[in-house]
Structure 1
Amino acid sequence: MIRPPWRRWTLRTRMVVAVVALAGVALLITDFVAATTLRHFLAQQLDEDVRQLNRFGGGGPWPGGFGNRPQPDASRPGSGSGRSGPSATAPAQPGTGTQPSPSATALPDRTATAQPSPTATAPTGPSAAANQPPCEGRQNTAGFGGLPPGQGDTIVIYYTAQGREICYLSSGITPTEGPQLTLAQIEANAQATGREPPTRLFTATAASGQDFRVTVSRSQDGRYRVSAISMDRVENTANLVLLLGLGVGALVLLGLGFAAYSVVRIGLRPLTNMEHAAAQIAGGDLTARVPSPDPHTEPGRLGLALNTMLSRIEAAVTARAASEQRLRQFLADASHELRTPLTSIRGFAELYRRGGAPPGPELDETMSRIEQEAARMGLLVEDLLLLAALDEERPLQPSRVDLLSVAADTVRDAHVRTPGRTVELAGFEPVTVQGDEHRLRQVVTNLVANALQHTLPDTRVTLRVSHRGGDPAEEMFELPLARVVGPVVAAVGAELDPDLPVAVIEVEDTGPGVPPEHAARIFERLYRADPHRARSHGGAGLGLAIASAIVKAHGGRIELATSPGVGSTFRVLLPLYD
């Protein structure tokens, strides 16, 4: 199915076209309404002009007839009454409103035969001069004495009662160019002559198609006066206004189109920025963002939401990449840790097979080394399995655990394993938490073992148990304050409410401290500061990772505060339950 072309337009094009189209329709309607209103107003004015023409076109009120016919001047040759004299036979004078009618033309017959009016016969005698049409012996002059100027094609025609033309006044047209009327139309629209202007007007059409507004008056003796003014002035003015409105509207639409394009482009700029940002992200640049979104506008809020989403996506992708990198490093480290004891076991077994260890003390030493390496590999596998179990969030075995007892047992074990080292317990008030006692013992043991393995023989290691927070009114037992060794540089676990009571386990040493480049990764699995994997201090780099995983499983937090040359303090914070 072929899609319409407008469906392939951009949003900017659609909005501009819609604005221009709506404005065009509004302007078109406005132009037509204005032209129609003007035409109606001008038509009303034209009707009033026709009434004035009918009343004053014959020279003003005419008692008993059409108007006050001026009497011929007796001093002029040929003056007299009736149609005698030069004025009755004078030729038509171009450009004037007075046209003699030497051969009067009869109107077309009406559909039904008209009965002559009792007054249809022209009067004779001394009063005949007073009833003569005013167009005889007169010239068209400006003002009410003749035809009003500036009206366009104007004509006043006088007819007898039988419909024969007597004479006419015009602005330059002849009766044949004026409105085409029948006697029936004249009789139907005729009004008796009076001092009030006529109210009955109608539209008649000339042979050329030109429209006239017409009114008809009937004198007391039955003759008719037809007054007509062309409607060309009304139509031409209204059409001119309409054309001007259309032309101005076209210019307005052109300017509006450019203005709408600029406004829409500015309004859609945030969407354009989003489009560019999306294109950059699709190209692999996850750092692309929508620049400076305005939170007070809908596109701006959309841009803020998009930036937030992109930040989360970038963080998720970065975390995933880091996780994959840690997984690869973990697999490499685990493989190395497992390969080392396996290589030792295989080497001693091959030595025995080749007879390099004859029965006796040498063979016993070989078997002892094989056993040690196998046990070491077993411990490593158990640690890895423990981490996997903690990652799966397997349920612990909670019970009430006395942390002071756990700390005291750990100190005694350290004295047995390393009798030459100084390991002290600070504080002797019991602190009880709810947790898995075996796992918590493993945490304390790993922290103390880590301090002993990575410090010099003369370094002092202090284990401290305390609690903090809770109800200020509660009586708190006093504990020795921990030595300030430096800021917290690494932490793993939940953020604990400082207003809630927590149990604190601290393992402090006076060693060289943890270098800053290693402190941030100290709790990672299989991570050791020794890049050459030296065995001078032992360990596979899983002790602190296991400790942090166990603390997290208990809803706690483990922190490292260290400063080079001052020492280190590992602090475990656990929720304290009554």
Structure 2
Amino acid sequence: MADLLHPGRWTLRSRIVLSTVTVFTVVAVCLGLVTVLAVRNYQINQLDSRLVAGAARFNPQSGGTERTCTLSRQRGAPPDVLCQPGQGVGSLAALVVDGTVVSSGFVEAPGAIQPLSAKQRDVLAGVRQTDDIQTVRVPGLGSFRVIASRTPIGTAISGISLSDVSRTTRQVIFTELIIVVLGLLIAAVGVSTLVERALRPLQRVRETATRVSELPLDRGEVVLADRVREPDANPQTEIGQVGAAINRMLDHIGEALQSRHASEQQVRRFVADASHELRTPLATIRGYAELTRPYRDSLEPDVTHALTQVELGASRMGTLVDDLLLLARLDSGREIEIRDVDVSAVLLDLVADAHVAGSGHEWSLDLPDQPVFVRGDDMRLRQVFGNLLTNARVHTPFGTHVAVRLRRPAGAGDAEHAGSDGSGGAADAAGGGDGWVAVTVSDDGPGIPGELIDSVFDRFARGDSGRSRGVGSTGLGLSIVDAITRALGGSVSVMSEPGCTEFTVLLKPADPDVD
């Protein structure tokens, strides 16, 4: 509700329609006031002309033959002028002598003259004698336009009621209100329709920008084919100028993305070539270092230590080279040979190895009663879960409990549906939907710092010392986990807080008949 009351949060269409209707309303009200005043003034002028003509007949000095009958009638009788032909309904006449109304009357209907009450006569007795026409309110009869003229007998007062003028004014106001309301409705609908049509190009520009914003621009080769249509990018219009600016921006972004992709490809080719070229000399170094093992007891301790470090360094370098080569292959889009794999057996072997390699940790494995098969590659899956177990072992202190849990898909129907769409499966998997085989590796260690949680799967990303025991790492383990799971059509996610870190790998289940 607060958003609706804040004009800055209204849509452009709403603001234009409201502004137009407001201007139309102000103009209509002004025109209506001018019209009402003009009609009222015109009627009053017409009424004043009739009043002057009637007063001339009531004034004995006007040269007319009419004489009042008040001198020959009983005191208080209506003036004879009211009995003359041509006196309209609403006419009023009175004769004031020495401040007292001696004769008065009011034409209530054709041929029906009503005498005035004492209160009404007192009001007329107080009318100022002047040549100007005055507006006087007579109790019980309403407002009158009156003129008071001096005569040899006294003051002759003639008046005409303003009731017809007021009635006409009310009718004009009512008619104008109906016209204004109908005009506002027509204007609102018409302006809304015109604005909607005028803003359609802007809507198409927005749709183009939305489609571009939904593209995965963070990795790989990106082709920005979407552009604002030529009619919507006409620089002669305001919206066209926006569309043309967006097209120029997309051209620059597309060029930048192509340059970035080309640079990434060069780096990947270099890493792949360098890693490939390093494998042979590293294998040679390791081979010669291993040949010296039988003779190390006869060598000096310093020499023995140096040869041991050479062998260990060559082994670590070989592992790094193998990881880089694997990432280069996955980046190049080289497909992994996928078949049905018993992930239960894979986890059983890896947790058993972890017991041996990390005897200072507590390990637990939770498996379903029946084997669970997934679509994948046995060696790559062992690499994925092996990296996760190694990560939990080397980055947590002794005594940490590491739990591995395997969950079956919720239903075979969901599994078939999820596995049939390779493009949309990963997205659904990321949301933890049913139909996926889920493997979780959790520990109760210190957790991953919040500032590193979003980049934990980036290459060469490393946690701080709070999660490490001084064991060095290449920073490629989790990036390999992410690359392999995506290549298999699945996903990996992490949730971490102090005392609980959990990695979840979602994989496509095998066909039901295999299980």
Instruction: Give the structure-1-normalised TM-score.
Output: 0.42
Q: Which has the larger radius of gyration?
A: 1
Structure with bigger RCO (C-alpha 8 Å, 6+ apart)? 1
Would you tell me which structure has more helix in proportion to its own residues? Answer: 2
Instruction: Give the structure-2-normalised TM-score.
Output: 0.47
